[in-house]
Structure 1
Amino acid sequence: MTDRTLALKSQRPPAELLYADELAQLAKHDSGPVPPGWRLSMKAVMRFIGGAPDIRRKIVCAPSLLERAMVTLASNRALLLVGEPGTAKSLLSELLAAAISGTSTLTIQGSAATTEDQIKYGWNYALLLNDGPSPRALVPSPLYRALRDGRIVRFEEITRCPPEVQDGLLSILSERLLMVPELADDNAVFAAPGFNLIATANTRDRGVNEMSAALKRRFAFETVFPIADYDEELALVRSELARLLAQDQIAVQPSDDVLEVLVTTFRELRTGLDKDGNAGERLSTVVSTAEAVSVAHAVALRGHYLRGDAGRPADIVEALAGAAAKDNADDLKKIRRYIEQRASRRKGEHWQAFHAARHLLPE
Structure 2
Amino acid sequence: MTQTQPSARLQDVLRQHAEQAYAHELSALHAQDHRPRPPQWKLSPQAVLTYLLGGSLEDGTVITPKYIGDRRLMEIAVATLATDRALLLIGVPGTAKSWVSEHLAAAISGDSTLLIQGTAGTSEESVRYGWNYARLLSEGPSPAALVESPVLRAMREGKIARMEELTRVQSDVQDTLITILSEKTLPVPELGSEVQAVRGFNLIATANNRDKGVNELSSALKRRFNTVVLPVPDSLDDEVSIVVRRVGQLAASLEIPAAPPALDEVRRIVTVFRELRAGVTEDGRTKLKSPSGSLSTAEAISVVNQGLALAAHFGNGELGAHDTAASLVGAVVKDPVQDGVVWREYLETVVKKRDDWKAFYKACRAVS
TM-score, normalized by the shorter chain, greater than 0.5: yes
Tell me the alpha carbon deviations over residues 102-121 of structure 1, each in whole angstroms, 9 at most, x when there is no partner.
01110000011000011111
For 1:273 and 1:234, locate their aligned partners in 2 and report how far apart those are by CA, in whole Å. Answer: 18
Tell me the alpha carbon deviations over residues 105-138 of structure 1, each in whole angstroms, 9 at most, x when there is no partner.
1000001100001111111111111111111111
> CA-atom RMSD, angstroms?
1.5
Aligned-pair CA distance for 1:327? 4.0
**Alignment check: 8 A CA contact 2:37 2:43 kept:** yes
Structure-2 residue corresponding to 1:343: 351
Q: TM-score, normalised by structure 2?
A: 0.94
Aligned-pair CA distance for 1:2? 4.2
Structure-2 residue corresponding to 1:56: 64
SS of residue in 2 equivalent to 1:273: coil
For 1:274 and 1:321, locate their aligned partners in 2 and report how far apart those are by CA, in whole Å. Answer: 18
Structure-2 residue corresponding to 1:84: 92
**Alignment check: 8 A CA contact 1:318 1:360 kept:** no
Structure-2 residue corresponding to 1:269: 276
For 1:193 and 1:6, locate their aligned partners in 2 and report how far apart those are by CA, in whole Å. Answer: 34
Letter in 1 for 2:308: A
Tell me the alpha carbon deviations over residues 209-261 of structure 1, each in whole angstroms, 9 at most, x when there is no partner.
11111111111111000001111111111111111111122341222222121
Q: 1:233 to 1:212 in 2, by over 3 A?
A: same
**Alignment check: 8 A CA contact 1:38 1:100 kept:** yes
Structure 1 residue ranges without an equivalent (≥5): none
Structure-2 residue corresponding to 1:172: 180
Pair 1:188-2:190 in alignment:
no
For 1:99 and 1:125, locate their aligned partners in 2 and report how far apart those are by CA, in whole Å. Answer: 36
Q: 1:328 to 1:93 in 2, by over 3 A?
A: farther
Pair 1:147-2:147 in alignment:
no
For 1:233 and 1:305, locate their aligned partners in 2 and report how far apart those are by CA, in whole Å. Answer: 27
For 1:145 and 1:279, locate their aligned partners in 2 and report how far apart those are by CA, in whole Å. Answer: 53
**Alignment check: 8 A CA contact 1:4 1:17 kept:** no
For 2:364 and 2:167, locate their aligned partners in 1 and report how far apart those are by CA, in whole Å. Answer: 38
Q: 1:199 to 1:4 in 2, by over 3 A?
A: farther
Pair 1:66-2:74 in alignment:
yes
For 1:5 and 1:68, locate their aligned partners in 2 and report how far apart those are by CA, in whole Å. Answer: 38
Runs of 4+ in structure 1 over 3 Å off = 1-5
**Alignment check: 8 A CA contact 1:16 1:103 kept:** yes
SS of residue in 2 equivalent to 1:13: coil
Letter in 1 for 2:365: H
**Alignment check: 8 A CA contact 2:329 2:364 kept:** no
For 1:181 and 1:7, locate their aligned partners in 2 and report how far apart those are by CA, in whole Å. Answer: 40
Structure-2 residue corresponding to 1:15: 18
Aligned-pair CA distance for 1:313? 1.1
**Alignment check: 8 A CA contact 1:15 1:98 kept:** yes
For 1:152 and 1:317, locate their aligned partners in 2 and report how far apart those are by CA, in whole Å. Answer: 41
Letter in 2 for 1:314: H
For 2:83 and 2:120, locate their aligned partners in 1 and report how far apart those are by CA, in whole Å. Answer: 30
Pair 1:113-2:121 in alignment:
yes
SS of residue in 2 equivalent to 1:207: coil
- State the aligned residue count: 358
For 1:308 and 1:136, locate their aligned partners in 2 and report how far apart those are by CA, in whole Å. Answer: 59
Tell me the alpha carbon deviations over residues 251-295 of structure 1, each in whole angstroms, 9 at most, x when there is no partner.
412222221211111111111232322232133321111100000
Letter in 2 for 1:181: P
Pair 1:216-2:222 in alignment:
yes
**Alignment check: 8 A CA contact 1:336 1:358 kept:** no
Structure-2 residue corresponding to 1:280: 287
For 1:7 and 1:132, locate their aligned partners in 2 and report how far apart those are by CA, in whole Å. Answer: 39
SS of residue in 2 equivalent to 1:221: strand
For 1:255 and 1:61, locate their aligned partners in 2 and report how far apart those are by CA, in whole Å. Answer: 23
Structure 2 residue ranges without an equivalent (≥5): 57-61
Aligned-pair CA distance for 1:359? 2.7
SS of residue in 1 equivalent to 2:191: coil
Q: TM-score, normalised by structure 1?
A: 0.95
**Alignment check: 8 A CA contact 1:8 1:18 kept:** no
Instruction: Work out which of the residue numbers 240, 245, 248 in structure 2 matches 1:242.
Output: 248
Pair 1:353-2:359 in alignment:
yes
For 1:9 and 1:324, locate their aligned partners in 2 and report how far apart those are by CA, in whole Å. Answer: 33
Aligned-pair CA distance for 1:307? 2.0
Q: 1:139 to 1:10 in 2, by over 3 A?
A: same
Identity %: 45
